Every structure is written in C-alpha cells, then in structure tokens.
Structure 1
Amino acid sequence: MSRLWPRYEGPDDLAAIERLPLEARGLPESTYALLARAAALWPSRTAITVLPEASRWREPLHRTYAELLAEVHRYANLLHRLGVRRGDVVALMSPNCAELIPATLAAQLAGIAAPLNGGLSPAQLTQLLGRSGARVLITAGPELSPEMWARVGELDGLDAVLALRPTGATGTPEPLPAINGVLIGHLAEMAADEDPDAFAADLPTRTDLAAFFHTGGTTGNPKLAAHTQAAQVANAWMLAADARISAEAVVCAALPLFHVNALVVTLLAPLFRGAQVVWAGPLGYREPGLFEEFWKIVEHFRITAMSAVPTVYSVLAQCPVNADISSLRHAMVGAAPLPVAVRETFQRHTGVALVEGYGLTEGTCATARSFPCAPRHGAVGQRLPYQRVAVVRPGTWEELPYGETGVLTISGPNVFAGYVTGRNASGHILDGLGKLNGGRLDTGDLARLDPDGFIHLAGRAKDLIIRGGHNIDPAVIEDALLAHPQVMAASAVGRPDAHAGEVPVAYVALAPGATLTEEDLCAWAAEHVPERAAAPRAVTVLDVLPVTAVGKPYKLPLRADAVRRAVVETLAALEVGAEVTVATDDDAVAVTVTVSPELTLDAVRAALDQYSVRWSVEARP
C-alpha cells in the first residue's frame, strides 16, 4: 500500500495504520495545497457539480479541478487586494451556490474563513463578526437570497461586502444598493481580472489558522472554534482513507457550508481522492422539493456516497424509490442519535446500510466511524486513525477503564486550537474555556469505550437540545420566556421526536395572579426566540420547577416528563391502552410500557423504536 493510502477496510486495520506516524504520510501543508495537488493530478476531472435548485437538477454547473483552482486564485487575489492578510478574517454568509465553494477556500488561502449561519439573529451575527474582527463579508446577493441580503444593512463594522449570485446566473446583475462607507460589489465581477494562475502573497502553513466555525446552530451566545490548516487537512485525510472513497466516488453534498460536515466531509475529503461532489440547491436538505427528486438525482449522477442527519434519512425512507440507486453504497449519518426505526426502515426501503459516525466542531469534524462489514451494536463507531479517545471522571480528568461511563475526551491532530475570545496586537486570543486540558478535549458527552476503540454514547453531560442535527442552547428559550413579566421561572429540555430526534419544549412557573395560558406562552416564545427552530413545541405551566437540594435547577424530572408525554401521545394515536412509567438513573431516562396480555406488542415496539430513548414493553399480569 502507498504511504498516503494504507489499507483501511475494517476495524482491525487501525493498529497497522498507526505503525507509520501521521507526519510520515506526506499530507499537504494546507487546504490550498490540498486543492493545488488535486488540480495538478486531475486538472480535467470534474471537481464540483452544482445544482441551481432541486427542480432544475438537469441544468447543473460543472467545474473541473483546474477551473476550481483558478476561481480560488481570483477570489483570493481580490481579497488580498482589499487588504485581507494572513491573520484577517473573511466572513461568509450565504446559502450554498457555485460561487460560495471557491469563496470559502479562497478565504482560507488569503486569511481566515468564518462561515456564518444566516438564520441567526442580527445581534448574534454582529457579536460573531465583532469577536472575529471580520471586516469583509461575502454574502448572498439579492438575486440569491433577498432575505439574507436585507440583513446586511443591520450588521456593523464592515469595510466591504461581496455579493454572490445564484448558480448559473447569466447577464449583468442589477446594481447593488449602496451602504454608507462600505465597498459593495459582486464577487465574481470584481475578481474577473485577477490572476487565475497563482496567489499573489505567501501561502498558508500548517500551523496557520484556517477557519472559525461557530458552535451550534441555535445558541444564545455562539462560540467561535478555531481550526488550524493542519487540523482540517488531517481530519479530511482520516475520512478519505476509507477504502470506499475512491477517485470514482460521486459524493452528494446538501448540508450548508457553515456546517463543518459540509466543509470537511463533502469538500476537503473528496479533494484527496479527486472525487466529484454534487452540490444540491441553495437550501440542500432543507428544500422539500429535493426529496421528491432525490432518487432521480442519485441515478443521473451515479452518486455513491452521501452524508446527512437522521431526520433526512427518516424522510427519504418514506420517498418511493423511483430510480436505479444501485450506485449508492455509502450513506453516512451523524450529528444526532440515530433511532433504531430510522436505521432499519431506511435500509429496508433502499437496501443501503447507514454508516454511523460521531464528531463535533471542536474536533474539527469527525472522530469516529462505523463499518457496515463489522457492525457494533449500540456504538457510534470506532475512533479514527491517530486520534485518541478516553473516558474520564467528570470534573477530575481521571481516566476510567473500558466499560465504565464518564465524559468522553479526544486528543490528536484534529483537536481545535481554542475558542476566539478576543483580539490584540498579536492577533486572535484563543482560550480552551475549560474544554482543553493538556491537549485533550472535553466533548461534554457521556460515553463508555470498548477495547477496540468503539464509542458507546450514554447521553450528554450538557443540556443541549439536538433538533435534526442542530444544537439548541436551552438558555435561548429560557431567556425569551423569562422576558415576559408574568413568568417567574423557565426551563427548556428536549422532547423525543420521531422526525427530528428531539424538539424543544419548555416548562414555566408563573407569578401569582398570572392569567397566561400555555397557548399564550407558545406564541410569546415564537415571537421572542431568535431562531424558529428553537421555538418550543409546547410550554407547560407548573406550580414550581424542580430544583436540587441546594436550590439549583434540576432538569432531569422535566426531561422524564417530556419523554412520558411523547410516548403517551404516540400510544394514544395507536389506540393502545397502556400504562406508561418513566424512571431516571444517573441523568438517563428509561420508559416502561405495560399493556394488556391479549394485545400484540409488535406495534408498540415499532412505535417506541422511533425514539432514541431506553424503553421496555411488558404484558400486564
């Protein structure tokens, strides 16, 4: 096997891979060097195929590796001419489009990229821009996203705004409205005369910062996680080393580029192999029309691999397979717990096994992967090469033996450099904020390990709610509800949901004499929570909210109640008479359903399989 590509087909290959140090494998110095290598090896091979939108998948835009590199050079040279230097940040806020892909790589070549979720509130976006120090924003123009363009005027501190056009747009665009004191223009138009053959300044090195990704899709105070060039390249190689990812692979990309999965899994990793990536329309998996056309798209482009969250596979499992999808053999899933029912239904529906994985932004992207040839029940996967995982006792970092549950920690070349907390004359100030200890990352997740390096998650040490792969900080919901003068206390938790994995719900205690109804509170939250996805599905009024012996908020009983309500509603829809009891143990919730002995238990079990919670079914004596 080559120095760059060892045998990596199953879990038993891990030890042999690691006999050769990662430094000896000759990885590219930076994401730019990775792209330049691909363009030198496969200049005429198609690198990206971008669909204008789901309904127009027969009208794609193609770029070869040589063409992609030329666009990156033009965009990076423009950024350099506008004053962007190695330690300067370029923010990017746009739905996916053909121009966003080279723009992201160009930002990492000229300076540091900071992809932003345009769905965040103006206050959150302004906070992220201020913390990063970004003075240049690359964003969707009015043709691509009128709503996103309208938000640009609400952002402060910018020197230049470069607008992106829709994929395949032709003709001369309408002049952009002026913003006082800000340089405004279309990115491609302004970069048209820049040098396509080389970058005009020094190239990034492995220790340079490549990107700042904000953590979570909906957080009250998003943090900026700093990635180095070396971390991104190493993590992309760990994924590309998979024997099933080859030069003939065609990868479907439909997650937004502000998500680390989109960058590392569906952009950087394919660059290593010279694979083609098919980018879905601007909204990707968030566009309902994509699912109607998805199997035809798979057949037409002979897609072999895809990456998505459990919610996507749940929807696809309900879409009739109206095309030849025999090319699809690698379906990766992560970002949220995978319910058994989703796994089994998708595989039965398509014949394709889901390959579960695990990762987080602070770990650059991916830390564990599964193997269809060697399934490990209950595990999210085996650690990737050159990463080290350990389980430690909460609060002490004392390492625990195999089989014991504690906080999962990660170390290795993929661990982030820290959170951006400020900036001084020397550059950005980075701080682990308690998450880093001697190079080890506290993931905040509870887990146990087996001797083969497989990770078995056991819940979250933090209270984040994961809705369809997006992290929601409960504080966002709680702060919004507490802003109502009649609300005395508020607590938000995740409620199991068959479609999204979890949805947020809230519990409140009201002031004496309050007249609010639960419907009033839902309406208030929908109006005041910064992002729609975080608005609670339900708000329940209690006399008092549970607290610990020392008076701190205690969410476990609320999570148990949320689970019980979800199960009761599910069984009521089946018209099954059952008794539902919920028990809690070490921050975990378990459900027991007792039914009449004359009833068949299959329907009840199938219903409960939709949820990623521990459950059991018993026949009433």
Structure 2
Amino acid sequence: MTTPNPYETDLDKNPANYVPLTPIGFLERAAAVYPNRTAIIHGEWRIDYAQAYARARRLASALAARGVARGDTVSVMAPNIPPVLDAHFGVPMLGAVLNTLNIRLDAATIAFTLDHAQTKVLITDREFSAVTRQALALAKVKPLVIDIDDPQYTGKGERLGEIEYEEFIAGGDPGFVWSGPGDEWQSISLNYTSGTTGNPKGVVYHHRGAYLNAVDNIVSAGMVGQSVYLWTLPMFHCNGWCFTWSLAIVAGTHVCLRRVEAGAIFAAIEKYKVTHLCGAPIVMGMLINAGAEQKRPLPHKVELLTAAAPPPAAVIAAMEANGFKITHLYGLTETYGPATICAWNEDWDALAADEQAALKARQGVKSPLLAGLDVMDPETMAPVPRDGVTMGEVMFRGNLVMKGYLKNPKATQEAFAGGWFHSGDLGVMHPDGYIQLKDRSKDIIISGGENISTIEVEDVLYKHPKILEVAVVARPDERWGETPCAFVTLKTGQTLTEQEVIAFCKENLAGYKVPRTVVFEDLPKTSTGKIQKYVLRDRAKAL
C-alpha cells in the first residue's frame, strides 16, 4: 500500500488560500491605499485613484443595467483617453470581454471584427464617427452605441449613439459590488491580429495572463512608486502591452496622449516628469528627427521600451545620446505584447557605443514571468545550435501566451503544435542565450507597430484590371520600421504609374496598408512557378 504524501494530504485549495488571479484587484488596492494620488492626466483633467476606481465601477454598473454579463463583448473605438482605461477594469468586473479596436482600420475590417466578436456594446469616440458609421452599416450585429465626446477633440465628428459616455457612467453606481473571475482562465480581452489570410484572427487573453504580464512589465521596466507613464503606445495594441493594468500595481500616473506627435511628447515629458514610455521604432524616429522648436531638455533619464520591427542599432545609439534609456522588447499579440527583453549585462558597459547599440538591437531573453523561449526546428521541435547563425523558428510557452484564437480551433492547434507557441518568426540563438530575429516565415509587414498582411494587399492589387502579377514585401523604413513595397508585372500592352497604383490601393485599403513603393518588373520565380519573395526582399532593401 502506498503511503500518502503528507504534502498532498489535507492541504487542499480553499477560499482562504487560493483566489483566481485578476488585474482588476490592482485598481481596488491603489484606490484604498493611495486614494488621492493622481491616476490619470488628460489635458486639464486630473483623476485620482479613488475617482478612477469609482469610474470603473460606474461603467460596470451601467453596462450591467443594459444587460451586459459574463462572456459578452464590449468593443471600444478610441485613442489613448481615460474611457479606455475605465474599460480595462470596468468591463472585466462583469466577466465581460474587452475588445479594443484599432483606430487605423477600414470600415470593412471593423465590421468583420464586430460580427466575429458578436459585440454587444460599442463605445466610440466622435473622431472616428465616419468609419464607425460605415462599419455599423456593414455589420450584422446591432450593438448599443455609446459616444465619447472628449473635450480634447476639436474636430467635427458626429455622435452615433443614444447616449454620451460621461452621461452613461454618471448613471452607474460608484459603489458597484463586483466579483473577480471564478476561474483565472476566464477570458478578459480580445485583440485582433492580421494573419497571412485576409481576415484578422481574434486573440483571446485570460485573467491570469493579464495579471502576470502586468506584473512582468513592472519588473522589466524597473517601475517603482511615482512612475509616470506617457501613452505613446496605442491602448488598442495588445491592451497597451498590458500597461493599462500595470500602473495600478505601483499607483503610477497615466498621462494620456490623444495624438502621438514629437512636440507633444517632449512637452509632456518636461511638464509631467515622465519616467516611462513605450513604442515602435517610429516613435524613436519621430523624436530623433524632431525640429529644435519641438525638442525640450529631458528632466532626467527617460526609460523607453521599444518593440515591433527590429530597431536599427544607429537609431538606438542616437536615442541614448539624447538622454533616453532604450530597452528592446519582442513579442506578438499572441503573447500579450512583448514577452522577451534584451536584458542589459553590466559586462557590456565598457564596450563602445556602437557595440552596445548592436547588442541592444537583439530581441533578447525571456522576460521574468515567461516560462520558455527558444529557437527551434519546427519540423523536429529540436532547439537549433546556439551559434548565432543557424536559423529556426522562435517559440514561446507559459502563462504569457494567449488562450487561443476565437472560433478558430484549426489555427489554435497549429499555433500550439508540439506544446509550444509557434511565432512564425525566424531567428537565431546566440551563444549567450539571446535571440535575434532574421526573417519572417509569415509574410507579415510590421509598420508603425501594426501588422499588415501582404496577401491582403496583393489581393487588392490583383483586382486592378491592368495588373498581371504582384508580390508585396517589407521595405525597411527609418520612420515606420517597415512599409509595404509592391512588385508589379503588368498585362501585355498596359501602362500604369506608381501614383495610379497607390491611388487604387487607397480606395480599397486602410491608409497604413497602402504600398509606399511600387516597382514594375517581371517577378522572379522558382522552377515550379513560385514567386521568390526572398529575392524581392533583398531588392526592396537595396532600393
């Protein structure tokens, strides 16, 4: 007879020793401990932590009164403003799922998203009323529409819904009694990412992952009390890499930024003593190339965390020369945003600036709360040699990986084949254990931090009556990281200009997906007729 293990006997989970993880509790604690500390700055508006907690509870209460319950989707179409922060806590207080929409998308894609997510409530800013109106007309779902009339917006956008946001939450109960998830595996948010096919995939996050990634951010970014975070990263992008939840851990201050412009960034850093900000390489390029009239001296060393397309070493060096401390991160929507960090080793302090910048351009090692990171052969699932040369696929595993793709079991199973999340990115593992990306196995272009499916762009171009063949690849860009470059073969006897191709794309695609460069030539192919995109990538780099 086997003797029972005493460590597994009469030591069960119970409500006293086990509570499902959720980031909602961060705000509750911050409001209790630091009620008068400024939580959110937006123009002349100041919201302290007691008020921020009350706003989230009012939102939850008002949504509940309209029938929103566990498993319902609440979509938000807005820039980096306070209502989006309210929603990150108020929506999951009901067990509902938050879907932050990419404000740069076209109406057809937004309509697809609303239908696929079965959106029950849409909270939308007036600035985007034109595209939102079109999307609602195209969508099959008919959500309750709530308008945000942000005082910082001075444009002519219309109101589309039956009630304004501040009026809506004013009717909610600031003492609303919420309960956390019964299971930390419960879904908290839904983020859409471009795939290699036309329609985006819905990436589902759980409460556990959101909690752990929020904590992971605090550790990776070196955040302590009185941290002041400037919102240059879109809150719609992977829930702002989960920094939407992170700041409440340290009762730090969110500085909202409706428009991401160099002058506004420098002004905010100076005025509010910003300590941290995040962004794609486009943000770094914007700051480096800012005019003298926009730049302000930094009040202290400012931490800038960057991810998306790998930043050139020269850009990192230039940023650090301007007083920023750059930390390079890497991840995907499927990993709650960045899940690796190019952790700095003090042994590198003595190296020349250009050598340090080259090391910082690598994607790095797993972040503190990620369980596994490796570069592997996707066929054998064996790790590649740590020689900095042999390429394999970058793979992740652990609590910072998504639940899966909404209503897409086939894609979910493929992504998790072999017990690892397959990123689709090709890279190498250096002898010191740091990974570095080399190429993308999925034909995705990352422009300004946003994914662009080359197949989607190609599908549009193939609709042009004068185009015979087309291939779209990434062209490196100092400002955007990458931009689409279209290689086009015309039908016999036809003529077409670059401007005409771009104009055609503008009529059929969101602006950031439109090719910036068009090259007319016969496409290189293999003996079996497959277009050799690697050849075109090299040509695009050489342009």
Query: Which TM-score applies when normalising by structure 1?
Result: 0.76
2:308 to 326, 329, 335: 335
Does residue 537 (structure 1) correspond to residue 510 (structure 2)? The answer is no
Q: Write out aligned runs for 1:428-443 (5 A).
A: 432-443=412-423
For 2:164, the equivalent position in structure 1 comes to 186
- In structure 1, what is the Cα distance between the partners aligned to 2:217 and 2:466? 51
Q: 1:136 to 1:243 in 2, by over 3 A?
A: closer
Q: Distance in 2 between matches of 1:203 and 1:559?
A: 47
- Percent of matched pairs sharing the same residue: 28
| 2:283 aligned with 1:312 | yes
- Using the alignment, how far apart are the partners of 2:64 and 2:493 within structure 1? 62
Question: Of 403, 411, 415, which aligns to 2:397?
Answer: 411
Q: Secondary structure at the match of 1:39?
A: helix
Higher alpha-carbon deviation: 450-459 or 270-279? 450-459
Counterpart pick for 2:31 among 32, 39, 52: 39
The alpha-carbon distance between structure 1 residues 130 and 430, as it changes in their structure 2 partners (threshold 3 A), is farther
Residue matched to 1:63: 47
Residue of structure 2 equivalent to 1:231: 209
Aligned equivalent of 1:381: 364
In the aligned structure 2, how far is the partner of 1:233 from the partner of 1:343? 30
Instruction: Give the match for residue 296 of structure 1.
Output: 267
Q: Using the alignment, how far apart are the partners of 1:489 and 1:191 within structure 2?
A: 53
Task: Report the counterpart of residue 466 of structure 2 in structure 1.
Answer: 486
Q: For 1:434, what is the secondary structure of its paired residue?
A: helix
Moved more, 217-226 or 239-248: 217-226
Quote the residue 2:118 is aligned against: 133
Closer, same or farther: CA 511–338 of 1 in aligned 2, 3 Å: same
Whether 1:273 and 2:234 are equivalent positions in the alignment is no
SS of residue in 1 equivalent to 2:99:
strand
- Residues 1:202 and 1:230: Cα distance change in structure 2 (over 3 Å): closer
On the 8 A contact 1:505/1:538 being kept in 2, the answer is yes
Give the 3 Å change call, closer, same or farther, for CA 351–187 of structure 1 in structure 2.
closer
Change (3 A) 1:501 1:260: same
Structure-2 change in CA distance of 1:82 and 1:502 (3 Å): same
2:240 corresponds to 1:262 = yes
Q: Distance in 1 between matches of 2:18 and 2:217?
A: 16
The answer to which of 375-384 and 269-278 deviates more is 375-384
Contact 2:102–2:236 at 8 Å: present in 1 too? yes
Superposition TM-score, scaled by structure 2 size: 0.87
Q: What's the offset of the Cα at 1:114? A: 0.9
Distance 1:109 1:151, change over 3 A: farther
SS in 1 for 2:482: strand
- Residue 109 of structure 2 is matched in structure 1 by 124
Aligned-partner Cα distance in 2 for 1:177–1:268:
29
Query: Residue 141 of structure 2 aligns to a residue in which SS?
Result: coil
Count of residues in correspondence between the two structures: 508
Report what 1:569 is aligned to.
none
- Tell me which of 132, 142, 158 is aligned to 1:158: 142
State the distance in 1 between where 2:423 and 2:235 align. 23
Is contact 1:28–1:233 with CA below 8 Å preserved after alignment?
A: no
Shift of 1:31: 2.1
Shift of 1:330: 1.1
- Match in the other structure for 2:6: none
CA distance in 2, matches of 1:430, 1:77: 37
CA distance in 1, matches of 2:18, 2:385: 34
User: How far apart, in 2, do the equivalents of 1:99 and 1:107 lie?
Assistant: 11
Structure 1, residues 323-355: CA drift from partner, whole Å, max 9, x if none?
44133431111111111221122222x222311
Query: CA separation in 1, counterparts of 2:495 and 2:265?
Result: 49
CA 1:539/1:527 → structure 2, altered by over 3 Å: closer, same or farther?
same
- 1:60-96: CA deviation from partner (whole Å, max 9, x where unpaired): x111111111111111111112121111111111122
- How far did 1:167 drift? 4.4
Is 89-98 or 215-224 further displaced after alignment?
Answer: 215-224
CA contact (8 A) 2:195 2:444 kept: no
Deviations along 1:386-430, whole A, 9 cap, x unmatched?
3211111133323323234200100011110110126xxxxxx79
Q: Which moved more, 1:382-391 or 1:357-366?
A: 382-391
Q: Which runs of 5+ in 1 are unaligned?
A: 1-24, 52-58, 179-183, 423-428, 566-621
Distance, in Å, in 2 between the alignment partners of 1:397 and 1:264 is 30
CA deviation after TM superposition for structure 1 residue 522, in Å: 2.8
Q: Assess, with a 3 A threshold, how the Cα gap between structure 1 residues 41 and 548 changes in structure 2: closer, same or farther.
A: farther
Asked whether the equivalents of residues 107 and 132 of structure 2 are also in contact (C-alpha less than 8 Å), the reply is no
Tell me the distance in 2 between the aligned counterparts of 1:472 and 1:169.
28
